[in-house]
Amino acid sequence: MPAEKAKAFRLHFERAIQMAASRTEDVFDFLVIGTGAGGSASAFELARAGHRVLMLEKGDELPADGSTYDATLVVAGKFNSKEPWKDRNGGVFMPEEHFNVGGKTRWYGAALLRPDEAEFGADARLSMPGWPLEYAEMTPYFERAERLLEVRTFDAEPDLARMAPAFGRHGWQSRPMPLGISNAIHQDPVQETHWDGYALPDTWKSEARFHLLDPILTLPNVALVKNAEVDSLLPGATPAQIVGVRCKDGREFRASTVLLAAGALHSPRLLQRYFDAVGLAGRLPASASVGRNFKRHILSAVIGFGVRRKQDRLCKTQLWTSDAFAHSSVQPLGGWADVETVRYVLRAWPKFVRDLFALHSYGFFLQTEDSSIAENRVIAEPPGGLPTLDYAVDRMPELRDEHEAMCRSFRRALRTAGLLNFRQSIPLSGLAHCAGTLAAGADPATSVVDAEGRVHGMENLYVVDGSVLPRLSKMNPSLTIYAWGLRIGERLSRAYGKNPQQ
């Protein structure tokens, strides 16, 4: 009974918070649209500095009944977005997106890597613009994100250690993978192999919900409104000023400053619609770049099969790079560590073959940085229509060729290690690493936000999600997005006369 009363009180408290937050006369200091890596990181800094922060989340809390790590439900897409999109040829597809508190971080593989310093600079030959700030300026925020998320490395497990010499003979160098995983995960033999691609019900995986939102949601100056899909930004006295947002259900929320953190597919659509509605499209130089330069890595999965029974538990403990493929990297597929996941993925196969493959196979994720190509873009939906993701790898022939050569090299290394293997290109729906559609830069003619995260030409509109990344790097982008959110949150706090707690 006490637990039921506590749950009822919490629900009543949350409803009261949402009702108070939705009063149009109640103006917050900051309104953050989205609760993923960047939105949660910026809100964390702003809230701890004492600002009144309102967070809006399109989705709801995930259930804590075990369904979010049930392979038969997760692999079947029960928790994926059901939002249809069009591709460049007009075909309809469903992006593998998640709308829930904590965003994609509830589901990710917690690979929290810094980009190489060289990847902050420009590479004009490959259409890769540099960042509008130096790598050293981001270093303190990488360090802070790593502390907050308790990033650590693990020793190579037996299978990977046995493969390493063969990989080395083909020019592949390994390094420990920085992971947001607690050592305590070894206490649970199920979750130990069952965390990459699943939402865990506890804090063993470092992600936005537990590590950044939980510490601030009990503060009196913070409100979180769930099931609040933002449809439009509200103009102030001039089009350059935003006073709040309107949701699809008609609710309006007000704030002195608005932060876009809805992700690289969604934040640009909000901005496109706003610029069209208030007449800034075409007039504001930055409007020409909104939605353009979309990136998601050129991606392939390679599955190796050998005679040895798989021993590794975490699997995702190492990262491989090669001097021959400067923009590419390889990491194990953590989700392939779980036998039940593999069995479900291969459910159409005969049971004997399926079981044998699940116990003797190892998965790898191969990725290559893509260019900033203006034609690769997100296009907001017309009235009654669908949004469009216009993306083609063939617009980046040199990087496409690097990816193909890299895949061939790594597959040869696997064969040397005794693993037969096959490759599968990741389809357009695989959008775990999407970025770049509101790219940061110094020139409003070729970028959307400045080094402070503010949209060029706007007074109080900032972007704190992966949309800002001018380069994706060959690494997973999560740590960079966390660090950017922390940086913008800290700088906004100081600009408004308050210092975040460290």
Query: pLDDT in tens for each of the 502 residues of the chain?
Result: 344 444 443 444 454 455 445 444 578 999 999 999 999 999 999 999 999 999 999 999 999 999 998 989 998 999 999 999 999 999 999 999 999 999 999 999 999 999 999 999 999 999 999 999 999 999 999 999 999 999 999 999 999 999 999 999 999 999 999 999 999 999 998 889 889 999 998 889 999 999 999 999 999 999 999 999 999 999 999 999 999 999 999 999 999 999 999 999 999 999 999 999 999 999 999 999 999 999 999 999 999 999 999 999 999 999 999 999 999 999 999 877 677 788 888 888 888 888 888 899 999 999 999 999 999 999 999 999 999 999 999 999 999 999 999 999 999 999 999 999 999 999 999 999 999 999 999 999 999 999 999 999 999 999 999 999 999 999 999 999 999 999 999 999 999 877 766 6
Which alpha helices (DSSP H) does 66-169 contain, by range? 71-74, 135-148, 158-169
Count the Cβ atoms, other than its own, within 10 Å of residue 221.
16
Residue 432 CA to residue 118 CA, distance in Å, equals 23
DSSP class of 57: -
CA distances from 355 to 26, 27, 310, 331, 388 (A): 58, 58, 12, 24, 40
Burial-class residue 301 by CB neighbours within 10 Å (0-12, 13-18, 19+). middle
Phi, psi of 319, rounded to the nearest 5 degrees = -125, 140
> Of the CATH numbers 3.30.413.10, 3.40.50.720, 3.50.50.60, 3.30.870.10, which one belongs to the domain with range 20-65+99-117+130-151+206-288+438-502?
3.50.50.60
Assess contact for 292 and 376: CB atoms under 8 A.
Answer: yes
Assess contact for 291 and 380: CB atoms under 8 A.
Answer: yes
DSSP H or E stretch at residue 462: strand 461-463
Assess contact for 74 and 63: CB atoms under 8 A.
Answer: no
DSSP class of 338: -
DSSP strand pairing (361-368 vs 325-332): antiparallel
Burial-class residue 248 by CB neighbours within 10 Å (0-12, 13-18, 19+). exposed
**Tokens, residue 211:** 């590590």
pTM of this structure: 0.94
CA distances from 446 to 280, 438, 442, 456 (A): 16, 10, 8, 10
Give me the count of residues in the chain. 502
End-to-end CA distance of the chain: 39
For residue 348, the model assigns a pLDDT of 85
User: Which residue ranges does the chain devote to CATH 3.30.410?
Assistant: 153-204+298-368+392-427
- Record: fold of 153-204+298-368+392-427: Cholesterol Oxidase; domain 2 (3.30.410)
For residue 93, the model assigns a pLDDT of 97
Assess contact for 379 and 322: CB atoms under 8 A.
Answer: no
For residue 12, the model assigns a pLDDT of 41
User: Which residue ranges does the chain devote to CATH 3.50.50.60?
Assistant: 20-65+99-117+130-151+206-288+438-502
Residue 139 CA to residue 147 CA, distance in Å, equals 12
